[in-house]
Amino acid sequence: MATSISYASGSDLDSDAENNRTLPECFDFVFKLHEEFETTSEPTSSDHLQKQLREGILLCEKAIRIVNDLQLFSNNEDFEEVSTNEIKYMLLSAFLAYLTGLNTHLPRSVAVNKSKLCYLDFLKLLKSYDVIQYDVHHSEDDEEENTMSLVKRPSSQNSDLSLQAAQRNNKIQRFKEKKAMEKKMTDLKVYMDKEHVDDEIKREFYLTLLKHWASKAVDEIDSCNLELQMLKHREEMARNGQGSQLNVSRNNETKKVKSFRPFILTKTQIQKQVFGLGYPSMPTMTVDEFYEQKLKEGTLSESVHTGHSMQNWAQNPEQDALEIEKEDAEKELKAERDDEEALARARAMDDWKDDHRRGEGNRYNKG
């Protein structure tokens, strides 16, 4: 029994694009058009590309009609029985789905739904020839699931962590296979561009291309399902008038939000008493204010300020180096002369180290 490729009619588009092209010419145009859309940096919504896209959709639909009239594909034959030059026409449904999804002249929900149906028809055709192994299920009644699902899955309510992990591993595996197929197609494309191509290489190229688009169709159908749900939800909100109310409520909430006062996390009062950390957590004055206050109280003389401190050394590293050299020279000179004061100080330090263990006086941090 012959297998027909279904498609959504594009009679609302410009019919002049169909002209008198043959089936191979229609396919070549659509194939090159899809490559152009994949590589172009121009927005796909531009008038120039949209005009080409509508022409490509018409030619793709014409090619599908020719394939159905010629009955090129059948449920009673295997993939090995399909002629090498006819394998590529299995891609027509996928190309039609791809182009329809980019059509901005249709309502978005209509374009997405047509694209999804074409992708599903493409996967069914590949499944009938055992090109793909996973099943494709179509439910006419289940609108909540957008009428399609690939590889039967339990609902999200019944899914557990193991199922989510399995789905994630499946996506990772398909991603790796997709990268491998892209590399393989790039290698085979070199031979396909030659004038004379071996029949086996041509079949291998088209088979790899079919599997590549099958993997892409699975992802695109999931994206279509998600987008249709969002579009449906937006339409329901628009009908109920919730969209404008939601925007107003969001604006009011934004106006009511007050800035938070900065705060510092501290230990509890009991911990402060135990460790003796009773000082305020927030500083009450700057270092300069503290210094000025001590000067006014008379507890700090001006002479201290003019002394050579660590801050002055940091500001004047040359002076710091000279001071260090001077101290080292004085120590060497005293050691050479066996200075009694220096020897007594060194011996006293040795005796003190013998009587006091290292860290003995560190009772606060204990470390």
15-153+164-245 under CATH 3.30.450.270, yes or no: no
Q: Does the pLDDT at position 7 exceed 70?
A: no
> Rounded CA gap, 195 and 335, in Å?
95
* Of 27, 57, 42, 54, residue with least CA distance to 209: 27
Torsion angles phi and psi, residue 203, rounded to 5: -65, -40
What is the average per-residue pLDDT within 7-24?
A: 62
> Rounded CA gap, 243 and 34, in Å?
37
pLDDT, greater one: 198 or 9: 198
> Rounded CA gap, 152 and 149, in Å?
7
The residues pairing with 148 across neighbouring beta strands, listed in sequence order, are 138
Q: Which amino acid, residue 243? A: G
Q: Are 61 and 93 in contact (CB under 8 A)?
A: no
Can you give the pLDDT at residue 148?
39
Can you give the pLDDT at residue 172?
86
Can you give the pLDDT at residue 332?
80
Counting Cα atoms < 13 Å in the Cβ hemisphere of 182 gives: 8
> Rounded CA gap, 171 and 165, in Å?
10
> Rounded CA gap, 44 and 103, in Å?
9
What is the average per-residue pLDDT within 128-144?
A: 66
The residues pairing with 138 across neighbouring beta strands, listed in sequence order, are 148
What is the average per-residue pLDDT within 289-311?
A: 70
Report residue 270's pLDDT band, with 50, 70 and 90 as the boundaries: low
Place of tokens 């002049």: 16
Q: Are 118 and 96 in contact (CB under 8 A)?
A: yes
> Rounded CA gap, 225 and 40, in Å?
26
What is the average per-residue pLDDT within 44-67?
A: 91
Q: Are 121 and 240 in contact (CB under 8 A)?
A: no
Can you give the pLDDT at residue 141?
42
Can you give the pLDDT at residue 322?
83
Can you give the pLDDT at residue 275?
58
3-state secondary structure of 41: coil
Query: 142-151, 191-200, 245-254: which range is least confident on average?
Result: 142-151
* Of 78, 96, 124, residue with least CA distance to 218: 124
Place of tokens 């739904």: 113
pTM (2 decimals)?
0.58
Q: Do β-strands 148-150 and 136-138 pair in parallel, antiparallel, or remain unpaired?
A: antiparallel
- Token pair recorded at residue 52: 């080409």
The DSSP letter of residue 149 is E
Q: pLDDT averaged over the chain?
A: 78
Report residue 316's pLDDT band, with 50, 70 and 90 as the boundaries: confident
Can you give the pLDDT at residue 122?
93
Which residues are within 8 A (CB) of 89 and not within 5 positions of it... i.e. 6 or more apart? Answer: 23, 27, 63, 67, 72, 73
Query: 28-32, 105-109, 131-135, 148-152: which range is least confident on average?
Result: 148-152
Query: 67-71, 72-76, 116-120, 194-198: which range is least confident on average?
Result: 194-198
What is the average per-residue pLDDT within 300-310?
A: 56
> Rounded CA gap, 181 and 187, in Å?
10
What is the average per-residue pLDDT within 247-255?
A: 61
Can you give the pLDDT at residue 307?
47
Report residue 325's pLDDT band, with 50, 70 and 90 as the boundaries: confident
Domain ranges of the chain: 15-153+164-245, 308-357
What is the average per-residue pLDDT within 62-80?
A: 90
Helices 199-240, 92-101: axis angle to 10 degrees equals 30
What is the average per-residue pLDDT within 210-231?
A: 91
What is the average per-residue pLDDT within 49-65?
A: 93
